[in-house]
Structure 1
Amino acid sequence: MNMCYVVPRPPHQERILHDLPSIPSHPLHFLHVSQEAKPTDLTIHPLRSTAESIDVLRHEEPHDITASIDVESLFTNIPVERTTDIILGYVNQHHVLPPLKMSRNILREMLRACTVEASSRCPQRQTISASGWDSHGLGVVFVQAFISYVETTALRPENMRLQVYCRYIDDIFICIDNLNSLENLSNRLQETSGLRFTVEWNNYGKITFLDVMVNTTTGSFVTDAYRKPTNQGKCMNGICEYIHDYKRSVIRAYVRRMIKMCSTWQLLHQELQRVRQMLINKGYSNTEFDTIVNNMLEQTTSK
């Protein structure tokens, strides 16, 4: 049975976390709504993680233009009233799941109580406020519902010049035929949503998406780990007084990330050498690092 509950907090409280765990049963249902309108030559990939984006790219071939599109300040600019209507439509008219056993008006009032009426900073603001709840369940539900609606409208088959379309929350990766089509797509997304989108396309055959560097110069997608210039490699210090298994988990997390992201052995070797030196500088054992790397590589190659 689908269940729904909302717990608004008093307006004077700083955090207004509201749980809506099931509309209709999982927020990621909204990611799949856009697939109903996809043309036969368009592959739409709703992503749950960086790892899934890499799996998609390794099964696709690059086309004329690869680009990334980012929604500016998505969580603080979602139109609450419009998105509430979209959610109500998804809940009561879903093509697979049964409707909630709750009236449309009651659900609307519950959603309003958790958004417009609960905001203490700007009570009349008709967008989701940036008061701390955007990283929690209800904020994600609103974002996924609204962006999926925008996709069903903007990505119509008769307007398509896309080969690949991937989205993770507010980051989009696409393969498209030319810059004019890219500009038209960006304009359609902005006109449909009322939000602002920033666009970047492959520069000298390279482009970043999430924390992955994508290289298309070889005629295929070659992926590598990407680090922002501001990334100082901060992590748990290796000589701190803490549980040793936690320190080992730091090494494993770095190694697992490199193995997943690097599509060639040369790139993997370079990244492992960089991470190795960084962790040694933070007090980790080079012997333990090498042991963990060998074990994880053996597990990977034996699959």
Structure 2
Amino acid sequence: MMSFDITSLYTNVPVDEAINIITTLLNGTDLPTGYIDGVSHCLTSGYFLWRGDFYQQVNGVAMGSPLAPVVANIYMEWFEGQALTSAPVRPRHWWRYVDDVFAVINRVHVEEFIAHLNSVHSSIQFTTEKEKDGMLPFLDVLVSRGTDGRLSHTVYRKPTHTDRYLRADSHHHPSHLASVPRTLINRALNLCDPQYIDAEFDHLRQVLENNGYNWRQCTRMASSSTGQERHLMIALLPEKLRRPSQLFNEAMFCSACLRTDIRITQVNSSPPCRYL
């Protein structure tokens, strides 16, 4: 097992090549050709002012732009097709999430494969991390390989993680406080294999109690919110990313998470906490 990370993906996406790829994709649809002009304008008109001088971004997509993740992903799909098709040795498995890749490849071919990836395009360069003692962290998952070759997974925390969250008695809206234990517990249920769930819950109990939460209330709330869908994992995108992605028939979903009925008195007053 090993993971790959693309160095500064957004700022290294080749703009001209990305526009050509998007043009090819749109030519196979019924969308007006004017969309190409719009995409090209958005990708080539980025500039900023520094000490009285204007600078134009000639390569890469602008960080924070709603178009950036869509364009970067479209380009990387094309890049993967080129790189994996022409690879001297293909990995057994290759899964990518934005700029992070989890792969399974024979260790004797690792260096050859890395050299090939970094030779496909000078702007797209990969760094790697190999498994250590049969374990490999990927995003917030720690993947372990047993003696029988089977893979298992649990929650991964960086060594610098402090386990500090919004305190239950802090001056925040109750919905924000409620999201802390619910998110942590649901993540454990979704990511941990059965043999790791007890240890993860023991850790969460200590962490949440240290942050002022009542563990029994937390587990009760999480159980009522998950129901039978606790094993369903869906990546959600905000609306401003979902709409441009529909141009390319990407299946993406948006979850409304903003409340419009919060009164100013609720924000100014100290909210009662139900998790103490």
TM-score range, shorter chain: 0.7 to 0.9
1:290/1:188 Cα in 2 relative to 1: closer, same or farther (>3 Å)?
same
Give the TM-score normalised by the residue count of structure 2.
Answer: 0.72
TM-score of the pair, normalised by structure 1: 0.66
Report the alpha carbon displacement of residue 131 of structure 1 after superposing the two structures with TM: 4.8
Structure 1 residues 85 and 288: alpha-carbon distance in aligned structure 2, compared to 1, 3 A threshold: same
1:153-200: CA deviation from partner (whole Å, max 9, x where unpaired): 1111774432211000110111112332x2232222222232210011
Amino acid at match of 2:39: L
SS at match of 2:154: strand
Q: Deviations over 1:214-259 (max 9, x none)?
A: 0003321110100112222343220124443443332111111001
Give secondary structure in 1 for the equivalent of 2:181: helix
Q: Is the 8 A contact 2:4 2:126 kept in 1?
A: yes
Q: Which residue of 1 aligns with 2:41?
A: 113
**Paired letter, 2:153:** T
In structure 2, C-alpha distance between the alignment counterparts of 1:297 and 1:173, rounded to whole Å: 28
Determine if contact 2:87/2:116 at 8 Å carries over to the other structure: no
Q: Residue 3 of structure 2 corresponds to which residue in structure 1? A: 68
In structure 2, relative to structure 1, the CA distance for the partners of 1:291 and 1:145 (3 Å cut) is closer
C-alpha spacing 1:179/1:284, structure 2 compared with 1 (3 Å): same
Aligned mates of 2:227, 2:96 — CA distance in 1 = 32
- Structure number with the bigger relative contact order (C-alpha 8 A, sep ≥ 6) is 1
Asked if the contact 1:77–1:127 (Cα under 8 Å) also holds between the matched residues in 2, the reply is yes
* Residue of structure 2 equivalent to 1:198: 127
Structure 1 position 301, deviation (Å): 9.3
Amino acid at match of 1:257: R
Task: Name the aligned partner's letter for residue 223 of structure 1.
Answer: H
Q: Secondary structure at the match of 1:162?
A: coil
Query: 1:127 aligns to what?
Result: 59
1:92 aligned residue: 27
Count of residues in Structure 1 that have an aligned counterpart in Structure 2? 226
C-alpha contact (below 8 Å) 2:168/2:213 kept by paired residues? yes
Distance in 2 between the 1:243 and 1:107 partners?
42
8 Å contact from structure 1 (residues 69, 199) kept in 2: yes
Q: 2:139 and 2:230 mapped to 1: Cα distance?
A: 26
Contact 1:116 1:123 in 2 (8 A): no
Alignment check: 8 A CA contact 1:166 1:174 kept:
yes
Please tell me the residue identity of whatever aligns with 1:281: N
Are 2:102 and 1:173 aligned? Answer: yes
- Identify unmatched segments of 5+ residues in structure 1: 1-65
- 1:1-303 to 2 correspondence within 5 Å? 66-93=1-28, 98-102=29-33, 106-120=34-48, 123-128=55-60, 130-133=62-65, 136=66, 138-156=67-85, 159-180=88-109, 182-194=110-122, 195-218=124-147, 219-265=149-195, 267-292=196-221, 299=228
1 CA distance for matches of 2:87 and 2:116?
Answer: 13
CA contact (8 A) 1:71 1:198 kept: yes
Partner amino acid, structure 2, of 1:214: V
- Measured against aligned partners, the alpha-carbon deviations of 1:103-149 in whole angstroms (never above 9, x if no partner) come to xxx4444233212223225745421255532xx2x101211111111
Task: Name structure 2 gaps, 5 residues minimum.
Answer: 233-276
CA deviation profile, 1:245-288 (whole Å, cap 9, x unmatched): 443332111111001111123x1111111111111111111331
CA distance 1:298–1:85, shift in 2 (3 Å): closer
8 Å contact 1:190–1:196 — kept in the other structure? yes
- Inter-CA distance 141–242: structure 2 relative to 1 (3 Å threshold): closer
Could you say what the CA RMSD is over the residues aligned between the two structures, in angstroms?
Answer: 2.7
**Aligned partners of 1:301, 1:142: CA distance in 2, in Å?**
32
Give yes or no for contact 1:154–1:185 (8 Å, CA) kept in 2.
no
Equivalent pairs: percent with the same residue?
26
